[in-house]
Structure 1
Amino acid sequence: MTSHLTTRAEHKRQYREQPRQAGIYLIRNTVSDRVLLGSSMNLHGPLNRHRFLLSIGGHPNRALQDDWRRLGPDAFEFTIAEVVAPQDAEAGPHEDELAFLEDLWLERTAPLGERSYNLHPRIRDT
């Protein structure tokens, strides 16, 4: 029988060993179609962080947090919109390719309008 701690440790190990994907993500309010556009060299990190902060009521984006509290988590979609193709398996994606994708998605979605949760044009998560 596997203990809870062993299972948790195994999940952590598997998460660390996953290849990291760089790209663009969206958090979309399915009721209003309002969107938070973001990018990262490790897509799963920011998506998990946003979900966690929203779930505990501590997200720094007040409009997003207020809508989450009012509408509930089922009213939101967390989507990986586009992934940077790695140059090779060991090197992973390059930051300049991600910057190019950021520019394309900023043009495509105009993330500072009324249908956006973005507060400024910098969308890259660290």
Structure 2
Amino acid sequence: MTQTRKYKGFTPTMGIWMVKNLKNGKVWLGGSEHVQAKLNGFQFQLKMGSCMNRTLQQEYNQDGPEHFVFEVLDELKPDPSKPEGFDYRQDLKDLEELWLEKLQPYDPNGYHRPKKA
């Protein structure tokens, strides 16, 4: 199989990803239509010192990369009953909300800001 055919046949995995500080248990999570690429990109941002979450970046710099775990928490499988090209963004957002509810990664126990009432 040629590289082009492999690329064209590639379907990225949708899902929820997490970064966890092993020293203090704080968590940052997100959802993506290409979960592994997003997780890799976020890890690269931290290594380069360009993460938008200042607290997470400071703790990463202070504690070192060996104290952080990067993982895929959940995958969203395409539903064969839905039409090809179906937009899964709302499903992904709903799945992310479930994980936010489950983990409660809000300051001071996580890197997310508390939700406004």
TM-score using structure 2 length: 0.78
Runs of 4+ in structure 1 displaced over 3 angstroms?
13-18, 90-93
| Structure 2: unaligned runs, 5 residues or longer | none
Name the residue aligned to 1:97. Answer: 91
Name the residue aligned to 2:61. Answer: 69
Tell me which amino acid in the other structure corresponds to 1:108. Answer: K
Structure 1 residues 115, 102: CA separation in 2 closer, same or farther (over 3 Å shift)? same
Structure 1 residues 32, 97: CA separation in 2 closer, same or farther (over 3 Å shift)? same
Q: How many residues align?
A: 109
* CA-CA distance at 1:66 after TM superposition: 0.8
- Please, what is the CA RMSD of the aligned residues? 2.4
Q: Write the mapping of 1:47-62 to structure 2, written as runs, cut at 5 A.
A: 47-62=39-54
| Structure 1: unaligned runs, 5 residues or longer | 1-9, 122-126
The reply on whether 1:30 has 2:22 as its aligned counterpart is: yes
Percentage identity across paired residues of the two chains:
30
Distance in 2 between the 1:14 and 1:113 partners?
42
Tell me which amino acid in the other structure corresponds to 2:13. Answer: Q
CA contact (8 A) 1:84 1:93 kept: no
